[in-house]
Amino acid sequence: METYVKSVDLSKRFGDYIAVNKVNLDVKQGEIYGFLGPNGAGKTTTIRMLTGTLKPSEGEVHICGLPLRDRELEIKRMIGVIPDEPKLYEGLRGNEFLDFIIGIYQLNKDDIIPKIEELSSAFGVDYLNDYIGDYSHGMKQKLMLISVLMREPKVMFLDEPTVGLDARSARLLKDLLTKTAQKGSTVFITTHVLEIAEKMCDRIGIINEGKLIAEGNLEELRLLSKEGNTSLEDLFLELTGNEDVVDIVEAL
Ligand SMILES: Nc1ncnc2c1ncn2[C@@H]1O[C@H](COP(=O)(O)OP(=O)(O)OP(=O)(O)O)[C@@H](O)[C@H]1O
């Protein structure tokens, strides 16, 4: 399978602080890759560099075989991004925002309108005539998801996409992403919900203090456990050195 998301020694410094440290990724077409890490580990910074919204201090990014440095516009057409805090135009109505996306991506309205209708009905979005400024976080998140899913991008980057979603919408999203990957797109997702990573992802990368410290499917990650941990939660806490939770609770 072709590599769709590749990074070579990808690094970001903010002043003296190294937020992302020589991260090497190789995610294939059709793969669902879970990118996990504790708060502040460097997940969002990595996604921003992979999607061209933040310039790396060092390293290279290739998307679908194209170098991001030279082919950014072309790549932006092929990818879809759900950022951790979607910034939407609050003064627009939902359907005006979708029209705007149709315009900038020069999408064919006849193809897209049925997709919007399908996705809106699936996510229970019946508020496209209302102003985005009046939406809750979850409502904005669903609008963002529709605006990306309707384009059927080759690579989807999702930063904590289930935050703010109710259980039904989160389940629907998981199923839609799985279907998207089966159709040949790549899904790169960060989440703190380890159950999502466990159930949905083909492969998981764990980043801690800017470094990719472990990578593999669940079986491969289990082999890295020195303590025989088998659940992703225990493995995650062991590998990221955050196992002291029990001691802390006992001390309180
Ligand atoms: N623009 C910035 N300027 C300075 N420091 C930054 C900037 N953006 C991120 N950082 C720092 O880089 C580190 C990594 O942040 P990042 O947002 O990538 O973490 P994360 O893994 O996404 O965390 P979370 O799970 O809490 O969202 C943090 O210490 C953060 O404070």
Q: Is 205 in the pocket of ligand 1 (CB under 6 A)?
A: no
- Domain extent listing, the chain: 3-251
- Of 11, 36, 45, the residue with max ligand 1 atoms within 8 A of its CB, to mutate for a pocket test, comes to 45
Q: Which two tokens stand for residue 23?
A: 């991260």
Does residue 245 carry a pLDDT above 70?
no
* Strand partners for 42: none
| pLDDT reported for residue 121 | 94
Which top CATH class is 3-251? Answer: alpha beta
What is the C-alpha to C-alpha distance for residues 61 and 64, in angstroms, rounded to an integer? 10
**Is 94 close to ligand 1, i.e. is its CB under 6 Å away?**
no
Residues 6+ apart with CB under 8 A from 217: 202, 203, 204
Of 158, 231, 168, nearest to 188 (Cα)? 158
Residue 47 Cα to ligand 1 midpoint, Å, equals 11
* Mean pLDDT of all residues in 158-180: 92
* Helix or strand run (H / E) with residue 252: none
Interface ipTM > 0.85? yes
- For residue 20 the two structure tokens come to 């992302």
The residue contributing the CA closest to ligand 1 atom 24 is 39
**pLDDT tier, 246 (very low <50, low <70, confident <90, very high otherwise):** low
Give the tens place of pLDDT for each residue, 41-87.
Answer: 999 999 999 999 999 999 999 999 999 999 999 999 999 999 988 88
Identity of the residue numbered 228: G
Instruction: Catalogue the E-assigned strands of the chain.
Output: 3-14, 17-28, 32-36, 58-63, 66-67, 79-82, 155-159, 186-190, 203-208, 211-216
Q: What is the DSSP letter of 231?
A: S
CB 68 within 8 A of CB 155: no
Report the pLDDT averaged over residues 196-200. 89
Return mean pLDDT, the chain. 93
Report pLDDT digits (tens) over 1-29.
Answer: 899 999 999 999 999 999 999 999 999 99
Nearest Cα neighbor of 141 from 167, 120, 161 is 161
- In order of 8, 27, 117, 170, 203, the CA distances from 109 in angstroms are 38, 32, 12, 27, 36
Does the C-beta of 48 come closer than 6 Å to ligand 1?
A: no
Mean pLDDT of 209-215: 96
Q: Which atom of ligand 1 is nearest to the CA of 41?
A: 21
> Per-residue pLDDT tens for 121-156?
999 999 999 999 999 999 999 999 999 999 999 999
- pLDDT score for 230: 85
Q: Whose CA is nearest to atom 10 of ligand 1?
A: 19
The response to whether residue 40 sits with its C-beta less than 6 Å from ligand 1 reads yes
Atom 17 of ligand 1, nearest CA residue: 44
- pLDDT at residue 227, as a whole number: 84
